[in-house]
Amino acid sequence: MKIAILSRNTRLYSTQRLVDAARARGHVVRVLDPLRCYVRIAPGHVAMRYKGKPVRDIDAAIPRIGTQSTFYGTAVLRQLETMGVYTPNSSDAVLRARDKLRSLQILAAQGIAMPVTVFGDNPDDTEDLLAMLGEPPHVIKLNEGSQGNGVVLAEKRSASQSVIEAFRGLYANFLVQEFIAEAKGCDLRCFVVGGKVVAAMQREASAGDFRANLHRGGSAVAVKLSAAEKRIAVRAAEALGLGVAGVDLLRSERGPLVLEVNASPGLEGIEAVTGVDVAGAIIELLQTRVGDTPRVARRGKTNAT
């Protein structure tokens, strides 16, 4: 199988682990910087080139698309899909997950439990918006932030209003959520691959912070999930159409709540903490889904030269 990994940096841990896992299983793998890919779009004849050379005969693609290159990266991924290339996370699924508001609306429509969330634009509505949410503390977060960036805890209503005004002054899209105090600064990262939770860890915020992201100094330990936690993680990934996802949960008094779903979850923390070969599980998913199906059959009538 010929595998393309869409990544801007070959030296990143997650990218290198996927390369190693693919090669260990006898596959040919190539890392493509999505910003160096360019495409030709025409009826019946689509094409892609990379650094002056044609991209062809790719069987599967793994998107590792950062927030700064969402638009272009998903366009490149969509072109590969048009060329008959299999991907566990389609371009549309990546876009659904990257937009926090859209993803929460989809999850809510599926009846998947989450923290109560409100969203509004006009300053005149802020007071009523917060009344819809309830008493503080409130968590205010940028709609397309990642790794805990752009997330603020406001402990008083006046603080919530000030942060909201500041975000509006920056013309930023944001959400306001209830704060789940009983989680005590901890969350669960559930790594879902092919409809199964293959690894999970509990992350705890560093002293003085409420964000449990490892990139912000949080710590983590391997954790055993309940059956309910596994089910909701898998349901959340499936609702967004993701074959590979990092689903973040909070343990609350009313059961597990989905905090966020990540379409390009990092491998370093989860593999180090759990000892699970998550990269290998992703490659094995590709093997299962692509199998022996000829690429030309998947592509149909599309010309991928």
pLDDT tens, residue by residue, 208-259: 555 555 555 578 999 999 999 999 999 999 999 999 999 999 999 999 999 9
pLDDT at 170: 82
Residue-wise pLDDT tens digits, 63-73:
999 988 999 99
pLDDT at 302: 38
Average pLDDT, the chain: 90
Mean pLDDT of 175-183: 93
pLDDT at 212: 52
pLDDT at 304: 37
pTM surpassing 0.85? yes
pLDDT at 300: 43
Check: CB of residue 203 under 8 Å from CB of residue 187: yes
Q: How far apart are CA 233 and CA 256, in angstroms?
A: 9
CB atoms within 10 A of CB 165: 11
pLDDT at 146: 62
pLDDT at 147: 60
Buried b (16+ CB within 10 A) or exposed e, 181-197: eebebbbbbbbbbbeeb
